[in-house]
Amino acid sequence: MKLPFAESYKIKSVETIKKSTVEERKNWIKEAKYNLFNLKSHQVFVDLLTDSGTGAMSDKQWSAIMEGDESYAGASSYFHLKDAIKDITGFEYFLPTHQGRAAENVLFSALIKEGDIIPGNAQFDTTKGHIEYRKATAVDCTIDEANHPSLNHPFKGNVDLEKLETVLKKYPKEKIPLIIVTITCNSAGGQPVSMENMKDVKKLADKYDIPVFYDAARFAENAYFIKIREKGYQNKSIRSIIKEMFSFADGMTMSSKKDAIVNMGGFIGFRHREDFEKATEFGILFEGFITYGGMSGRDMNALAQGLYEGTEFDYLETRIGQVAYLGQKLKDAGIPVQYPFGGHAIFVDAKSFLPYVPIEQYVAQTLAVELYIEGGVRGVEIGTLLADRDPVTRKNRYPEVEWLRLAIPRRVYTNNHMNFTAAALINVFERRNEITTGFKIVKEAPLLRHFTVELEKI
């Protein structure tokens, strides 16, 4: 008999989670103004809000924490992390930051000015937020296939080279300080970018003399997909694929809370000393001195260890296998999901799922609330609420696809939790025709509104 698949770790410490009743959840979500970010964690049974900072650290990471060096300057933990980053990514220079958006803040302070244009594939909301906060514009050049959930394409995160070149031709070089490629592309459904596409983007960028930075929060998952799906990479190691990926970039921002499996942390990697020096003054101003920048020594130690664990093939196979396990259950039940399944999450196509809820009534949010009430499972809206308003017209931006994202924390839940989640969503699917109304906004912030928005049932 062929031996079946099994997780590449065993469990040493557990945390209790509690079930609740439908009645309790109806009250809690109402009190939370129908914003799932306002729920208290004990009101949630399976928490798929995010895979960010929610992973389980290993015994080796916890022991690395005990060896943290908390010196203000020149801590051994800093050099430990510097060596790990160089070893895994190839980047010579780096600045630690407290998380991914802090890396964006520091890097963009050095590079982006008002009126600039920043093309790439679909950028994450904090990235876009930091661009728009500087009165610059992010241009989404993702391939069109990303917007067709059932269309099978192995690299739906790819940059459309024609769209990119149109932008590069239209604006002078001085207006385009960098191209940002997000790997994997979260906003498109955790979809990977192929090595070939990375190579081609770099070639095009070189032609127009524009630097390329990766938003690399899920770079290891991207490398796994290249190994599994891209011709010529089956026999290459994850680590060598990662090195090759980064060889087509001038730098990277990292939210270490994802693929490096720590609860807090981030960094910027640089190929060129000049970029590092330009960013350093903002790093010191916003985050802290060069050798700790927003992180404690112990956390830098855990991150260094996490970078190695997060880039092991067996771990990635377990991780992405679990996401696909959930995806397949939903797909088998006829639920419309982004296919092929992404690396960190299953993205449910809410407009197809709930065809009777008007688009102005926040369809994906409606589905997220229904799933929570059904089973205490918390997902997140990646739809109109997150897409926010156009900074100029202040009109709602309606994305082509309204997603409900079910993001799986790393090494946290078992496949029984995936079965539970699938059953809850299938129950909602079975009564989908009774769901005909959604929500209206009663209060919202001018930027990144989805975190604090307050809603009322229609």
215 part of the interface to ligand F0G, by CB under 6 A: yes
| Residue 450 is among the residues annotated as catalytic for this protein | yes
Please list, in sequence order, all residues whose beta carbon lies within 8 angstroms of the beta carbon of residue 15, skipping any fewer than 6 positions away. Answer: none
Query: Hey, is 374 helix, strand or coil?
Result: helix
Smaller CB distance to ligand F0G: residue 77 or 127?
127
| Residue 124 is among the residues annotated as catalytic for this protein | yes
User: Which residue(s) pair with 251 in the sheet?
Assistant: 213, 270
Q: Which residue is nearest to ligand F0G (CB)?
A: 100
C-alpha–C-alpha distance, residues 56 and 89, integer Å: 23
Among 109, 126, 305, 421, binds ligand F0G (CB under 6 A): 126
348 in Cβ contact with 337 (< 8 Å): yes
Tell me, residue by residue from 393 to 432, as one string, x for binding to ligand F0G by CB under 6 A and - for no binding.
Answer: --------------x-------------------------
Catalytic choice (258, 329, 344, 417): 258
Inter-CA distances, 37 with 34, 80, 384, 397, Å:
9, 35, 16, 21
DSSP notation for 254-310: EETTSTT--SS-EEEEESSHHHHHHHHHHHHHHT--TTTTT--HHHHHHHHHHHHHT
| Residue 299 is among the residues annotated as catalytic for this protein | no
C-alpha–C-alpha distance, residues 109 and 282, integer Å: 7
Tell me, residue by residue from 152 to 191, as one string, x for binding to ligand F0G by CB under 6 A and - for no binding.
Answer: ------------------------------x---x-----
| Residue 155 is among the residues annotated as catalytic for this protein | no
| Residue 51 is among the residues annotated as catalytic for this protein | no
Instruction: Write down the least CB distance from residue 111 to ligand F0G, Å.
Output: 16
Smaller CB distance to ligand F0G: residue 99 or 305?
99
Query: Looking up tokens 């067709």, which residue turns up?
Result: 148
Among 68, 189, 192, 266, binds ligand F0G (CB under 6 A): 266
Catalytic choice (217, 220, 223, 364): 217
Instruction: Write down the least CB distance from residue 431 to ligand F0G, Å.
Output: 28
| 44-103: contacts with ligand F0G (CB under 6 A) | 50, 52, 99-101
Among 134, 202, 257, 411, binds ligand F0G (CB under 6 A): 257
Instruction: Write down the least CB distance from residue 304 to ligand F0G, Å.
Output: 17
80 in Cβ contact with 301 (< 8 Å): yes
The DSSP output letter for 51 is S
| Residue 91 is among the residues annotated as catalytic for this protein | no
C-alpha–C-alpha distance, residues 455 and 440, integer Å: 6
Closest CA to 365 of 3, 42, 82, 34: 34
Residues at the site binding ligand F0G, with contacts judged by CB under 6 A = 50, 52, 99-101, 124, 126-127, 182, 186, 215, 217, 255, 257, 266, 407
Which sequence positions are flagged as catalytic?
A: 72, 124-125, 215, 217, 258, 450
